[in-house]
């Protein structure tokens, strides 16, 4: 890519880009002309499938690995993105894990695992984004509508996402004068393979019926919300949590 091409192309890093929502975000941003770094932690094959689909559609993408909670690995990821594409304009933190159990039965190592990925990982990547996003840039973190729904077994997970919301709203105000927006998207029930796994058709139908729109969300629904916040029409949205859940909360 030439220097002129680099300066004209917006560049995004999507953590967890091999996942259902992360992959949809990567493809949606690429379809709108953004070069995308598809980050992955455990599935190089799925990440490459996302990259291949973007390349086949005429977009620009590369898959890169790393532990989101490791500042050295994430610094290397940002370095690689800047070296390949010339800079970074958008960072989307979809990487996260969800381990469910009632509070009385939650193993502390499970809580610590979620905290490391969901909270520390988001903090590490947000810190780098705050330092390195170009003017006009956008950081989009991921919360969950569970923070409002208060469903049993979700306490530990919701606690990590409450922390993500807090850091997101504070960071938006700390970046005054930088021309960088900071927001969070909070999906509701979304039909990803991970969400659907192990659920009966009856339960899936009941969860879909909870929305006034009468269905589960799709990864593309969530990706559209992210693309809005990351694009020119979302520039006046800053320091907000956007609940993308079809009206369930």
Return the active site residues. 157
How deeply is 217 buried, as exposed, middle or buried, from its count of CB atoms within 10 A (0-12, 13-18, 19+)? buried
Q: Return the H-helix or E-strand segment holding 181.
A: strand 181-187
Residue for token digits 């979302």? 234
Cα–Cα distance list, 152 to 45, 100, 103, 204, 219 (Å) = 34, 9, 9, 17, 24
CA-wise closest residue to 11 among 61, 45, 76, 47: 61
How many angstroms from the chain centroid is the CA of residue 125? 11
How many angstroms from the chain centroid is the CA of residue 67? 15
158 touches 215 (CB < 8 A): no
**Residue 59: strand, helix, or coil:** coil
In angstroms, the CA 236 to CA 3 distance is 29
């Amino acid at each position: 890519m030439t220097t002129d091409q680099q300066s004209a192309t917006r560049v995004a890093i999507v953590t967890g880009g091999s996942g259902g929502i992360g992959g949809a975000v990567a493809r949606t941003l690429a379809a709108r002309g953004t070069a995308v770094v598809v980050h992955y932690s455990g599935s190089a094959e799925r990440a490459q499938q996302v990259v291949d689909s973007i390349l086949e559609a005429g977009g620009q993408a590369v898959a890169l690995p790393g532990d989101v909670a490791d500042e050295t690995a994430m610094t290397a990821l940002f370095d690689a993105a800047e070296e390949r594409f010339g800079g970074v304009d958008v960072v989307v933190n979809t990487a996260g894990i969800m381990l469910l159990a009632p509070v009385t039965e939650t193993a502390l190592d499970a809580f610590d695992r979620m905290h490391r990925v969901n909270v520390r990982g988001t903090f590490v990547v947000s810190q780098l984004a705050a330092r390195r996003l170009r003017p006009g840039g956008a950081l989009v973190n991921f919360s969950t509508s569970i923070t409002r729904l208060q469903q049993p077994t979700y306490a530990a997970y919701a606690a990590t996402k409450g922390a993500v919301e807090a850091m997101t709203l504070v960071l938006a105000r700390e970046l005054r004068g930088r021309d960088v927006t900071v927001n969070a998207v909070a999906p509701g029930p979304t039909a990803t393979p991970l969400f659907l796994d192990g659920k009966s058709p009856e339960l899936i139908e009941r969860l879909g019926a909870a929305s006034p729109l009468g269905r589960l969300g799709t990864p593309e629904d969530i990706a559209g919300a992210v693309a809005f916040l990351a694009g020119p029409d979302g520039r006046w949205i800053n320091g907000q949590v956007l609940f993308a859940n079809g009206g369930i909360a």
